[in-house]
A and B are shown apart, each in its own frame.
Chain A
Amino acid sequence: MLNRYWRRAIVFITAFIVAAFVVAAFFDNEFRSRSWDPQQMRDYVERTIHFGGTFYENGLLNKGPLEPVVYRLAAALTSWEGFWYAISFFILIVSGLVAWAASRAAQVVGGHRLLGAALGIGVFFHFTLGKADYAGVLYSRNMIVGLLAAAWLVALAPNAWTPERAWRSSIVIGVLLGLATQTLLVSAIAAVAVALVAWSEINDIFDDALYRKCRRTLIAAPVLVTVAAPLYYAARGRFDEFWSGWWTYALYQNSGTGRSLANQLAYGREVILRYYRTWPVSFVIVFAFVAVTIALWRTLERRERAVHASISLWFVGAWVELVLGQRYSSHYFAVLAVPTALMAAVVVGHVYRLLQRDRGEFRSVIAWPLVASVLTVAAWGGQHLDLGLQAASKFTSVHQAAAARAANTPGNERTVRATLDLVSKADDPLLTWTEFPWPYLNFRRVSATRFIWKSFMLGQIYFGRTGPQYVLPKTWQWFAEDMREANPAAFLEETALPLTPDTPFADYVAANFDIAYAGPDYNIYLRHDQAAAVLRGDRGKVVTPSSAFGDTTKWKVAAGGASLAIDSGTPVEDALQLSSSLCNRISGTYLAQPGAAGSFLSFRFDNPATTASHMRLNIVDSRAMSGSDTTVFESVPLSSASADDAESEVTDLSPHTFAVVVGSVSAALVIDGEIRAAVRLDGERSVSLEVRNGGVVLSDLRVGPPPPNSGCGG
């Protein structure tokens, strides 16, 4: 034995590194977990929170309800900004279970406890900080491997099969396996593989009645849990919605690739060969496991044989799942990684036992977890470890981290969010024509329809065919119901994905919306009433602006008008105070008559508490801009009809009607009946007009009420 100081030093360094893994994984995966499917699932959950009802009424789900339940739990446990921290925590739990399962596998075949810990550390790193696409995310398949690993652990737990606990263990395993198959039916083979270990364990129960009870439970519980979902939704009267997603759409996805079963198998063989050519280490592990299994089979105890058989079947089941799934998305391979990890653990466990029998206990065993943690980083790279530790270092609060990210929001998204905030509030419905899950989350809105992507409505199958035969039967009926319920205030169109004409969706948009903003990346349509309030609005009373310079101002001010001569020479601080509060609509006509320096009108939003920075909506020559004192967020031509030539600096000398529409948290600049710039406010409370270079005439200035849904109350 090593002396206690060395032992403590080794324990210290090991704990230090493993703690670094955990901390880094938690913070790195908070960002990494925002992958495609997780964002889709969050869209569904947020929609469910807003509208109520079942998950299947709020999204097209082709898997069991476990995944949205987990995401709903994350939403319940955290704030909107902290959601992904909860998901990251769940990832730690799932990865911990898988790591523990590998550790247990090594110990079952005779490996030392610390050897198991070493293997567990490696597996944990792989699933949390590894480079694989299934690492650091919480897709349905990650949940399934977590459930299977948990069932595996219960089955192999030292005290799980005592007379007092056996039946409870059977129930727990049955429920876990049932949840796995309920989530994805194709995971049934892997579930059977895990059940095999439990089956072997109950064989040692002497009490025949208890034995039979456990056996019945192991069969019945998974089946009952699997069918519980359809039964539940049938009981709630929502069977159609459930069945359409869980079964019908899953069938579409299967048939939508157009491959026969033979073709699927042939393609699968190709993928398998390609996979092991790319990952020879995996092949070596599988080969070694098979060799060890064959070589030692006769000497293995019953329990060990069950473990070998279970892992073998789990492995085959994983490939069957992948082959029948047909898509081989990189994150699907989590289902294969777990049995492969268990194979590695079992092989290492056997090797240890053989060596240990031969030479006795290893003195260095205390250091193996440390060695494993160092080798793990060396083998799989420390990129995510590094990123995670950096994120942990910078973290001060969930809100601060969200604010730091928000500060980097692209200008086009800022414009959209600011415009949406004038007609709706956070978490209100938004209709979009998109094929991505993130617009809803980026703009903090929920989908107005359960069909969050256009592909559902056009019958576009992921990695498959497109056609009306893949549009669910009640799609347009449900769409109409959703629109009646949501009555969205805005429709967002990505310019790269224009709205497909001649669909009920397009008809609905044409009948209910007016275009309000046409930008380079997004077009924003507002519902008729909202468009009227924002673009035209109640013009209100004539206003007489004042200047911060009082009597010494160079502005010539009159009722409903003001002008600043080009040769006034007044500093920019001689700003025209348009409103001392938010929540109004300041409109009028402006005419730029500048000299060679060009025109520059800046509607400046002031914060009385600070002079550090102001949000701005600018008219600079022939362009409209949103931004702050130091940054231009987005710049577009004054008219959506004119060419977007950013280099053009020709001053527009014709008069334009304008309106600065100011809500409680955002403002937009409307020019000639179109929104041309919008900005979210950051604590500002009043509006001024700052003019550089002079040469501006304002007329017909009026102040009216803001749009009704701009957060201004009343």
Chain B
Amino acid sequence: MTVTEHSDNTVAHEADAAPASSRRDQALASEIVVAFTAIAVLLFMVRVFGGMWPRNFKIFFPDSFSFLNAARHTPFSPAFYAAERPIAFPTLLFLLGRSTALTIFVQTALYALAFVFAARTAWMALRHHVARVAGIAALCVIALEPRFALWNSHILSESIGMTLSLMSVMLWWRFSSQPTVSRLRWASLATIAWLTARDSNVPPWAAVGVPALLLASFWWRSVDRDLRLAMRRWAAVTLVVCVGVTLTQAANGRNRYATLNNVGQRVLPYENLTNWFVGQGMPMSEALRERTGSSSFDDQWKMLESEDLVEFRAWARGPGQREMLMSYARFAPHWVRSLKADLPVLLASKQAEYDAFHVAARLPKAASNQLGGPTTPFGLLIWTLAAVGGIALALRQRRVQAVVLSLLLASTFVDLYMAYVGDSVEVQRHMVGPLSRMAIILVMCVAIGVDSIAAAVKQRRRKVA
């Protein structure tokens, strides 16, 4: 198979060959589509904002102030890069003058535009109208899901994280449908932007994306050398970004909160885990044992301020973080069981407690039958099976797309796992990005499966004819 044999980007070629009047008609038609898309984006934004914009979006999450503080450093200061937050959202805040109203406007617009881009990508990558319409409809349903859309109303990195995640996923899909150096560059840049949105995005990419790029650069012989070299280059660059994000976030000490929370709520309740951590150097004391079941913020920040826990905090600031990371691999079965136990609640969460500006009341209700992504473990199972089936169907005729989608699908589960184990506090909020990404990738996989079925049916009909 050659790469270009299965290029789906036929619209532009057809347009080139069309007569001038037809091109004008196409241009007009596309401008009409653009205009209607703009109206749809406007309506979405109006409904998300409610009567709040521009003056009534108050910020009250401590994390929001943390992002603003990071932005206050400005990108011209080294402190900006080692501040308590990865740089993507602080950069946006900096560019928008740390204006709450403007940031909410822009991030909502970007969120909506990312879905427009996704719909456009689905239109290009899929060949049959049934798959296109179904795929785009599903994307619209996900965009309108209140549990995702409500984050546009907060000065938090969830919105920009979902937007960049969507862009990154779609650009990889574009790359898979027609692999070129240029498309690889755009996909890699979007991925880098996504990596710098939240530090929890690093593990899925480091575990799946970087190895996949490197392996492909050596084994994918059917593509030209430039593309393989570019893959190697971008694997290296993204790896450097992963390391950079990890080191800067480790340097500023913010991850100590996650370590403290996890020890209190997820390690101390289990004797074998506790013993292992003690064996790895965790200073055990009666004061620490008292913190069993508590996070670092409970009991008036006792874990953060108690004199009896000075030694423990020093451990959490340094080697404790590394040990915690090691435990995610060492005790993976335990953590997976824990995730499985919490999954019904996490999937079903409507994030209502975060909906301070009543976005859910103004958007359509979440789609029934889990069309906007899984909301139960059984739904997740069905979606996953359908996605795997879709990939399997596409494997024969669109191998590159199938491989890339399967890698993306695998990475969503890593993402889900890491988001869960990363911090025991506000788990539902931390799951927003991974769940939206998962919903989108599942839709893509199923859509490409439907597309493959439609192609097969059409081919058979042709043969019969």
Contacts and interface: CB of A to CB of B under 8 A. Distances in A.
A15 B38 contact: yes
A391 B51 CA distance: 7
B31 A11 contact: yes
B287 interface: no
Interface stretch (A16-24, A492-500, A512-520, A562-570): A16-24
B46 A11 contact: no
Given A8-B34, A396-B362, A390 B51 contact: yes
A392 B46 contact: yes
> Which of B34, B43, B47, B52: most chain A CB closer than 10 A?
B34
B100 to A, nearest CB: 16
Contacts of B36: 15
A12 B34 CA distance: 6
Contacts of B54: 386
A12 B37 contact: yes
Interface in B48-65: 49-54
Nearest to A386: B54
B39 interface: yes
Nearest to A395: B362
A236 interface: no
A23 B46 contact: yes
Contact of B49 (A4, A15, A393): A393
A16 B38 contact: yes
Contacts of A15: 34-39
Looking at chain B's contact residues, is the secondary structure mostly helix, strand, loop, or mixed? helix
Given A16-B41, A393-B362, A11 B49 contact: no
Nearest to A390: B51
Given A393-B362, A394-B51, A396-B361, A11 B34 contact: yes
A389 B362 CA distance: 13
B42 interface: yes
Contact of A394 (B31, B38, B50): B50
B27 interface: yes
Contacts of B39: 15-16, 19
Contacts of B46: 20, 23, 389, 392-393
A19 B31 contact: no
Interface in A641-662: none
Interface in A543-560: none
A34 B310 CA distance: 68
Contacts of B27: 4, 7
Interface in B12-44: 27, 30-31, 34-39, 41-43
Contacts of A4: 27, 30
Contact of B31 (A7, A13, A392): A7
Nearest to A393: B50
A8 B33 CA distance: 10
Contact of B53 (A12, A393, A396): A393
A11 B38 CA distance: 9
Contacts of A11: 31, 34-35, 38
Nearest to B361: A396
A205 B315 CA distance: 96
Interface in A460-505: none
> Which of B35, B43, B50, B362: most chain A CB closer than 10 A?
B35
A394 B36 CA distance: 22
Interface in A291-312: none
Give chain B's interface residue range (CB within 8 Å of chain A).
20 to 34
Contacts of A16: 38-39, 41-42
A460 to B, nearest CB: 41
> Which of B35, B38, B49, B53: most chain A CB closer than 10 A?
B38
A397 to B, nearest CB: 12
Contacts of A20: 42, 46
Contacts of B42: 16, 19-20, 23
Nearest to A387: B51
A12 B47 CA distance: 19
Nearest to B50: A393
A19 B35 CA distance: 9
Nearest to A8: B34
Nearest to B40: A19
Interface in A11-52: 11-16, 19-20, 23
A137 to B, nearest CB: 23
A393 B35 CA distance: 21
B66 to A, nearest CB: 28
Given A19-B42, A396-B362, A8 B31 contact: yes
Interface in A360-419: 386, 389-394, 396
Interface in A425-456: none
Given A7-B31, A396-B361, A12 B51 contact: no
Contacts of A393: 46-47, 49-53, 362
> Which of A12, A14, A386: most chain B CB closer than 10 A?
A12
A432 B42 CA distance: 46
A386 B101 CA distance: 13
Interface string B439-465: 000000000000000000000000000
A13 B116 CA distance: 14
> Which of B30, B31, B37: most chain A CB closer than 10 A?
B31
Contacts of B361: 396
A389 B50 CA distance: 8
Nearest to A388: B46
B390 to A, nearest CB: 31
Contacts of A7: 27, 31
Nearest to A7: B31
Interface in B269-292: none
Nearest to A16: B38
Interface string A658-687: 000000000000000000000000000000
A528 B226 CA distance: 99
A7 B24 CA distance: 13
A20 B38 CA distance: 10
A12 B362 contact: no
Contacts of B51: 390-391, 393-394
A23 B41 CA distance: 13
A396 B35 CA distance: 25
Contacts of B37: 12, 15
Contacts of A390: 50-51, 53
A709 to B, nearest CB: 39
B107 to A, nearest CB: 16
Contacts of A396: 361-362
A629 B339 CA distance: 46
A390 B362 CA distance: 12
B123 to A, nearest CB: 14
A145 to B, nearest CB: 27
A20 B49 CA distance: 13
A265 B80 CA distance: 72
Contacts of A12: 34-35, 37-38
Contact of B38 (A19, A389, A391, A392): A19
A7 B27 CA distance: 10
A8 to B, nearest CB: 5
A366 to B, nearest CB: 10
Interface string B158-189: 00000000000000000000000000000000
Contacts of B53: 389-390, 393
A694 B260 CA distance: 58
Identify the 4 closest CB pairs spanning chains A and B, nearest first. Answer: A15-B38, A15-B35, A16-B38, A19-B39
Given A14-B35, A389-B53, A390-B51, 16 more contacts: A4-B27, A11-B31, A11-B38, A14-B38, A16-B38, A19-B39, A19-B42, A19-B43, A23-B46, A389-B49, A390-B50, A393-B47, A394-B50, A394-B362, A396-B361, A396-B362
Interface of A: 4, 7-8, 11-16, 19-20, 23, 386, 389-394, 396
Interface of B: 27, 30-31, 34-39, 41-43, 46-47, 49-54, 361-362
13 contacts: A7-B27, A11-B31, A12-B35, A15-B34, A15-B38, A23-B42, A389-B46, A393-B46, A393-B47, A393-B49, A393-B50, A394-B51, A396-B361
